[in-house]
Amino acid sequence: MKALTIWQPWATLIMAGVKPYEFRGWPAPRALRGTRIAIHAGARPVRKSELADLILRLRSTESWSTALKPEALAMIERWHSNPFALPLASILGTAMLGEPKRAYDIVSEFGAKLNDSDRDEHSNWAWPLTDIVPLEPIQPAKGAQGFWDWRA
């Protein structure tokens, strides 16, 4: 199975169903669309400043800019108090990778009129992730950039 490494807290937010899209600068590979992929939490430590920024944005009129569902706020507030609660370097579960969409086509789902991201080159494409299946227990894995092979 192909796996995709995603930094925390984003990987756990995907598994919780409150981050419906993974954003990348390119469309997902055609061969993987419509297939199940493993979601891997990268080894990079969680940055409290990123969590604090997400909290501020989710509490504001700019909450759409996070592309997160409102339920994400309580989770992120807990992790801000204890960022070590998030697993690192592990396969968290699997998801179905959907047909990529242009980011500006999906921002209305989160209450925005347009994509005014200053990270436009990083978030041009929204990759839908559905049919989330958590892995219990999670499996330690080193990971890699891009898609890589994981044996369950």
Q: Residue 138: give the domain boundaries.
A: 2-149
pLDDT at 122 over 60: no
Beta strands in the chain (DSSP E): 2-6, 21-24, 36-41, 90-97, 101-102, 125-140, 147-149
How many other CB atoms are found less than 10 A from the CB of residue 143?
21
- The Cα–Cα gap between 30 and 24 comes to 14
pLDDT at 76 over 70: yes
pLDDT at 151 over 80: yes
pLDDT at 118: 52
Biggest CA-to-CA distance, the chain: 43
pLDDT at 113 over 70: no
Count how many domains the chain has. Answer: 1
Question: Which amino acid is present at 151?
Answer: R
Query: Please, which residues have CB within 8 angstroms of residue 104's CB and are 6 or more apart in sequence?
Result: 114, 115
- The Cα–Cα gap between 73 and 63 comes to 10
8-60: pLDDT as tens digits: 999 999 999 999 999 999 999 999 999 999 999 999 999 999 999 999 999 99
pTM: predicted TM-score of the whole model, two decimal places: 0.91
Q: Which residue has the higher pLDDT, 109 or 136?
A: 136
pLDDT at 90 over 60: yes
pLDDT at 115 over 50: no
Q: What is the CATH number of the domain that holds 140?
A: 2.30.130.30
